[in-house]
């Protein structure tokens, strides 16, 4: 998953992999010892992203990003690589009716889910299908640009940042985030190590790819080269709290093309063993019935 095309493939694979309603309707609270009887999750890829990944993971990061951007009432905001729209929705609640929020993504399927998700009534979010490398907005249209966990997927990050700079008004702010390396993200590394071993190194490499743009110095330099000033980058850690880590892991496994394709033909016992091993590797993050796992990202803010 190194570019926008593979991200779309990543999502589209969830459909063929079987997103029919689960016959049991419930998911066990998930210790490794419990046996699952099926591996189907209800919903399309983007629906599952919104339902399973956004609440415990991307929503807390969206709150952090809008805080760091010091959003205010009346701001004119662009969210680039909006996905199913969590950052745009959080921004809308802050800028209020006197502001505006425009949210852009290359995937029409992600945008279809974004449009349906409940959002504050005003301002109405404008959802735009488009490429971050070629923003179709006049110069100086916005005074805040946000981009959460999308920059690492763009085939030309420098070009995307130049475009974000161009569409910002003088004095405008940008806030962007990108995961740090798998080695610094316990969920990612334990997940990838088990996938390496049980599915194969190609699948393991694929699961590391969202964590593939870890270089904070390069992030700062790319922002400066695009024209930004007052660039400040921090390694930020936020905890993911997830009571149903089994469903989270299954969604993740099915979501990666190579991994998903391979395990689709496995027996239930083999899949149980795979999920069980990942859960066991993360056992130290379990307290009572829930997991609390730290995730680390580079988050940068800057001015035009």
CB atoms closer than 10 angstroms to residue 63: 15
- Residue 133 near residue 107, CB atoms below 8 Å: no
Three-state DSSP class for 14?
coil
Closer Cβ to ligand SAM, 105 or 272, answer by number = 105
Binding span for ligand SAM by CB under 6 A among 91-99, 150-158, 236-244, 254-262: 150-158
Residue nearest to ligand SAM (CB): 83
Rg (CA), the chain: 19
For residue 106, which of 134, 127, 132 has the smallest C-alpha distance? 132
- 58 is an interface residue for ligand SAM by CB under 6 A: yes
Strand pairing category for 168-179 and 76-80: unpaired
Instruction: Say whether residue 4 binds ligand SAM (CB under 6 A).
Output: yes
* Comparison of 148 and 198: residue with beta carbon closer to ligand SAM: 148
The span from the CA of 294 to the CA of 61, in Å, is 12
Report residue 8: phi and psi, to 5°: -65, -40
Subset of 80-99 contacting ligand SAM (CB under 6 A) = 81-83, 86-87
User: Half-sphere exposure of residue 24, counting CA atoms within 13 Å on the CB side?
Assistant: 10
State the Cα–Cα distance between residues 260 and 105, nearest whole angstrom: 24
Instruction: Using the minimum distance from each CB to ligand SAM, give the nearer residue, 153 or 187.
Output: 153
Rounded to 5 degrees, φ, ψ at 23 are -60, -35
- Looking at residues 112 to 131 of the shown chain, list those that interact with ligand SAM (rule: CB under 6 A): 131
Q: How many residues bind ligand SAM (CB under 6 A)?
A: 20
CB burial readout 182-203, b (16+ within 10 A) else e: bebbbbbbbbbbbbbebbeeeb
Q: Which of 107, 198, 247, 298 binds ligand SAM (CB under 6 A)?
A: 107
Identify which of residues 30 and 179 has a Cβ nearer to ligand SAM in the complex. 179
Which of 110, 161, 282, 302 is close enough to bind ligand SAM by CB under 6 A?
A: 110
- Binding residue for ligand SAM (CB under 6 A) from 64, 75, 105, 272? 105
Q: If binding is defined by CB under 6 A, does position 10 make contact with ligand SAM?
A: no
Binding site for ligand SAM (CB under 6 A): 4, 7, 58, 81-83, 86-87, 105-107, 110, 131-133, 148-150, 153-154
């Amino acid at each position: 998953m190194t570019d926008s095309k593979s991200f779309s493939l990543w999502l589209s694979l969830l459909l063929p992999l079987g997103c029919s309603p689960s016959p049991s309707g419930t998911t066990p609270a998930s210790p490794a010892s419990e046996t699952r009887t099926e591996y189907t999750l209800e919903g399309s890829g983007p629906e599952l992203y919104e339902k399973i990944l956004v609440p415990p993971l991307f929503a807390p990061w969206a709150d952090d990003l809008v805080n760091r951007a010091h959003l205010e009432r009346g701001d004119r905001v662009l969210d680039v690589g909006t996905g199913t729209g969590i950052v745009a929705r959080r921004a809308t609640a802050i800028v209020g009716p006197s502001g505006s929020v425009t949210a852009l993504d290359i995937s029409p399927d992600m945008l279809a889910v974004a449009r349906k998700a409940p959002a504050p009534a005003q301002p109405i979010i404008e959802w735009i299908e488009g490429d971050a490398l070629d923003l179709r907005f006049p110069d100086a249209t916005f005074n805040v640009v946000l981009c959460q966990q999308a920059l690492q997927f763009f085939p030309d990050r420098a070009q995307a940042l130049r475009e974000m700079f161009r569409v910002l008004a003088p004095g405008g702010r940008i806030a962007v985030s990108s995961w740090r390396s798998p080695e610094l993200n316990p969920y990612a590394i334990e997940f990838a190590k088990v996938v390496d071993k049980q599915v194969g190194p190609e699948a393991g490499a694929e699961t590391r790819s969202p964590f593939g743009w870890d270089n904070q110095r390069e992030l700062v330099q790319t922002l400066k080269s695009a024209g930004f000033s007052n660039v400040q980058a921090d390694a930020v850690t936020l905890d993911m709290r997830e009571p149903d880590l089994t469903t989270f892991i299954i969604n993740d496994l099915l979501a990666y093309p190579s991994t998903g394709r391979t395990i689709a033909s496995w027996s239930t016992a083999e899949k149980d063993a795979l999920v069980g091993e990942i859960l066991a590797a993360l056992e130290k993050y379990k307290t009572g019935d829930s997991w609390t796992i730290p995730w680390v990202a580079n988050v940068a803010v800057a001015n035009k």
